[in-house]
Structure 1
Amino acid sequence: MRAIQLNRFGGPDVLDIVAVPKPEPQAGEVLVRVHAAGVNFFEVLMRADRYAVTPQLPMIPGVEAAGIVEALGQGVDASLLGTRVAAPLFASSRPFGGYADYVTIDASLAVPLPDSLSFGDATALMVQGLTALHLSRRSPPGGKSVLVGAAAGGVGSLLVQLAKRAGAGRVVAAAGSKTKLDHALSLGADAAVDYSNTDWPERVRAATGGAGVDIIYDVVGGPLTAVALEALAPCGELVFAALGRYALGAPQMEAMIVRNQSLRGFALLPLLSADLLRDGLSELFNLAASGELKVINGGRFPLDQASQAHRLLDERGTTGKVVLIP
């Protein structure tokens, strides 16, 4: 079968298409013919060895896939054969391998897909959907004003919608272009600010009547974090979910202490038991299938164009979810 393999760190061109043996499902596993594989920004960082964790090479990237069950390992319920499923590889014992024609995964982790939900949309609701869902649950936005960074991206576009569903008093979207801001507004954001403008924290405060936001959901990290703090209200909370992109120093921490502000870290995987994973994905899949949650298509690429998909993410030229179609 075909797969995209990372043999060395570097730019998008280091992603090679190779022929590898088709995996065989072991006891308790299913073999899934991949119809869509999600591409995530942290995979771009990992490819360039700029992520918090350096992967062991060679590796086949891809932590989420969706497709049809084509074979069963010993002991697996025969009714799964031929079903449409999500394969959340990130929660399995082999968390990579999605950039390929086939993957295997423990049958207990294969989550059925509603017939009306596309494979591509299903990939958007795995890492990014669960991140948005659990961000909104760990720091509930009900009755509060919130700032969503990268609000037209994979996580941000879903978080805008979920925060509104959870009763946020005001959702302020931040992004880097008018097109992206228009996307966020179309998804229900109450206001939108362009963080390429130097005075954007002032515009966030203006959008909240001068008070600032109660919660900042930070999925971007880097230099923007320290600037975003200027828009956080006294006693507000910064929820930091940008693993490996820290930029807060002593001055920012001291300012937070003086203003009675709090910092909460967020990492998805430690929160996910098998039941929470399945329940969360089923909820997201059903919301999307019924039209209550909109998935933004950020680009569909053939498997052998994985480097182009990574290049698009590298250049921050995307809105929504980027997907490979084997």
Structure 2
Amino acid sequence: MRAVQVTEFGGPEVLIPAELADPVPGPGQVLIEVDRIGVNYADTHQAENSYLAPSKLPLVPGGEVVGHTSEGRRVVALLGDGGGYAERAVAAQAMAFPVPDGVDDLNALSMLVQGATAWILLRKNTHLEPGESVVVHAAAGGVGSIAVQLAKAWGAGRVIATASSEQKRNLALELGADVAVDSRAENMTDTLREANGGKRVDIVLDMVGGTTTDQSIAALAPFGRLAFYGMAGREQPKPIELRNLLGHSTTVTGMWLPHAFRLPGEVYGTALTELFDLVREGRLRAIAGGEHALADARAAHEALRSRGTVGKLLLDPRK
């Protein structure tokens, strides 16, 4: 089968098209004929071995696919150890979810990781309450574009989007944000407070890191919450001293999606069901970020790392 393989860690240049043997499903696994592959920012970390879970060489990157089983069932699946950048992939049966009618490949893949991430950030990490202000950094991205929509649907009082270009800010406004500000603002603390009518903000969803995180924490209101779920800027925030959290009774929380699979009560499955229902009702939509041929995976990673993309990027293994 055609695939993309990494034999040495590094940037987008290490993504090399290759011919590999078809994967063979073991007990409790299912073989999927892949129709579309989702590209995530985490894939760029996997390729350079800077992700939370260490990578092993050689590897086929990619953690999500949508396609059909040998019985003809249409499923979207999470792949625990990669293997997604290929014409065929193997997934644990428990991680292969049926895709309902009315949900296309783009939305199925977008809800699997980005949608579930936004759902958990707002429901579990920050416990959004009606009327609260919500800041969504990288609001035109895969998670951000969905988080803006969910925050509005769930009663946020004011949704403040940040993005690096006028085009991205306009998209965030189109999706329901009340105000959109430049993510390159010199002082994000003042910018966020000004965007919130001079008041401190209640919730911040942050996947940037560095000074963006530092200044966002400083913008939090009493009992405000910042949920940290990535570091796209590849810059570490300052260490947080616990005593400084007392100043405004603030909470800083982290989220890595795989931990959601360990929660009791089928939390991840509930999130996915709710998200698919919202898509079918026309109340939630994924933003197409572009589609590349499988052999052009390198270009997809370059686009992601440049932070010039919007929405969800896909690979087509049939091209």
> Quick check: TM above 0.5?
yes
What do the CA deviations read for 1:243-283 (whole angstroms, capped 9, x no partner)?
68641225x75543322222122222122249333332222
Residue 217 (structure 1) aligns with: 205
Q: 2 CA distance for matches of 1:166 and 1:140?
A: 11
Which letter does structure 2 place at the counterpart of 1:249?
P
Following TM superposition, by how much is the alpha carbon of 1:13 offset from its aligned partner in structure 2, in angstroms? 1.5
SS in 2 for 1:322: strand
Q: 1 CA distance for matches of 2:291 and 2:298?
A: 12
Following TM superposition, by how much is the alpha carbon of 1:30 offset from its aligned partner in structure 2, in angstroms? 2.0
CA contact (8 A) 2:106 2:286 kept: no
Residue 140 (structure 2) aligns with: 152
Residue 313 (structure 1) aligns with: 304
SS in 2 for 1:272: helix
Which letter does structure 2 place at the counterpart of 1:84?
R
5 Å matches for 1:171-186? 171-186=159-174
CA contact (8 A) 2:160 2:180 kept: yes
CA contact (8 A) 1:111 1:282 kept: no
Residue 196 (structure 1) aligns with: 184
Residue 239 (structure 2) aligns with: 249
What do the CA deviations read for 1:25-71 (whole angstroms, capped 9, x no partner)?
3333321111111111121123233334431111111111000112x
SS in 1 for 2:274: helix
5 Å matches for 1:243-282? 246-249=236-239, 254-273=243-262, 275-282=266-273
Q: 2 CA distance for matches of 1:264 and 1:271?
A: 14
SS in 1 for 2:221: strand
Q: 1 CA distance for matches of 2:52 and 2:91?
A: 25
Residue 281 (structure 2) aligns with: 290
SS in 2 for 1:258: coil
SS in 2 for 1:98: coil
- Deviation beyond 6 Å, 4+ runs, structure 1: none
Match of 1:303 among 285, 294, 297: 294
SS in 2 for 1:125: helix
Which letter does structure 2 place at the counterpart of 1:303?
L
Structure 2 residue 121 is the aligned partner of structure 1 residue 135: yes
SS in 1 for 2:16: strand
Residue 91 (structure 2) aligns with: 105
Q: 2 CA distance for matches of 1:254 and 1:7?
A: 45
CA contact (8 A) 1:193 1:200 kept: no
* Distance change in 2, residues 1:54/1:27 (3 Å): closer
Q: Identify which range, 310-319 or 200-209, moves more after superposition.
A: 200-209
5 Å matches for 1:90-129? 90=80, 95-129=81-115
Q: Identify which range, 297-306 or 114-123, moves more after superposition.
A: 114-123
* Unmatched segments (≥5 aa) in structure 2: none
CA contact (8 A) 2:73 2:98 kept: yes
Structure 2 residue 220 is the aligned partner of structure 1 residue 236: no
Q: 2 CA distance for matches of 1:175 and 1:255?
A: 28
Which letter does structure 2 place at the counterpart of 1:290?
E
Match of 1:163 among 151, 154, 166: 151
What do the CA deviations read for 1:70-127 (whole angstroms, capped 9, x no partner)?
2xxxxxxxxxx1121111224xxxx311111011223333211122222132111111
Match of 2:78 among 71, 85, 88: 88
* Unmatched segments (≥5 aa) in structure 1: 71-80
Figure out how many residues of one structure are paired with residues of the other and give that number. 311
Q: 2 CA distance for matches of 1:46 and 1:25?
A: 23
5 Å matches for 1:8-27? 8-27=8-27
Residue 75 (structure 1) aligns with: none
Which letter does structure 2 place at the counterpart of 1:108?
A
Following TM superposition, by how much is the alpha carbon of 1:8 offset from its aligned partner in structure 2, in angstroms? 0.8
Q: Identify which range, 121-130 or 193-202, moves more after superposition.
A: 193-202
Q: 1 CA distance for matches of 2:289 and 2:115?
A: 14
SS in 1 for 2:82: coil
